[in-house]
Amino acid sequence: MRVLGVDPGLTRCGIGVVDGESGRPCNLVHVEVVGTAAGCEIGERLLRLEDAFARAIETYSPDVVAVERVFSQHNVRTVMGTAQAGALALAAAARRGIPVAMHTPSEVKAAVTGSGRADKHQVTAMVTRLLRLPVSPTPADAADALALAICHLWRAPAQSALAAAVRAAKVSRVTARSDT
């Protein structure tokens, strides 16, 4: 499976592409950080990000796009930029019929380090080790995008199995009710 991970941000947005399967080593395909200048108009900044997402999707043909779920912060301006960038990534995938997944920062940290409270250095160190990279991806936005992709590679099979079990249980209950 090929996953495009997005660490959304208006000033710096990480985009990472990883190939792999659950239980097998992952491989780095691509990583970049797209930056936009704070002094530019918001529309120009958003278009730059939208173009970067479209280019990455067209170039690397991911099976799924995994985006960090926006969580509440005290800085409303930061939350807004993160949400806007994340929405563009989701829309770019949806426009091309590519499934999307969202993961919280603590889910990603727990998946790659074993602790949902890991710091940026721990996440970067584990991404470097898991992808067998000679040097750590920098800045942290690059490592975070790769961590999102790895998280999804590892969590997707369990999430799919759980969703299938829930669907089967619902069908079973409906069938049991109609039999009575």
Active site residue ranges:
7, 68, 141
Q: What is the 3-state secondary structure (H, E, C) of 69-110?
A: CCCCCCCHHHHHHHHHHHHHHHHHHHHCCCCEEEECHHHHHH
Using DSSP bridges, classify how beta strands 64-68 and 100-103 pair: parallel, antiparallel or unpaired. parallel
Q: Which residues pair with 30 in a beta bridge?
A: 17
Q: How far apart are CA 57 and CA 106, in angstroms?
A: 26
Q: How far apart are CA 36 and CA 132, in angstroms?
A: 30
A 10 A CB-CB count for 59 gives: 12
Of the candidates 129, 107, 102, 137, the residue with the CA atom closest to the CA atom of residue 6: 102
Q: Residue 82 in contact with residue 1, Cβ under 8 Å?
A: no
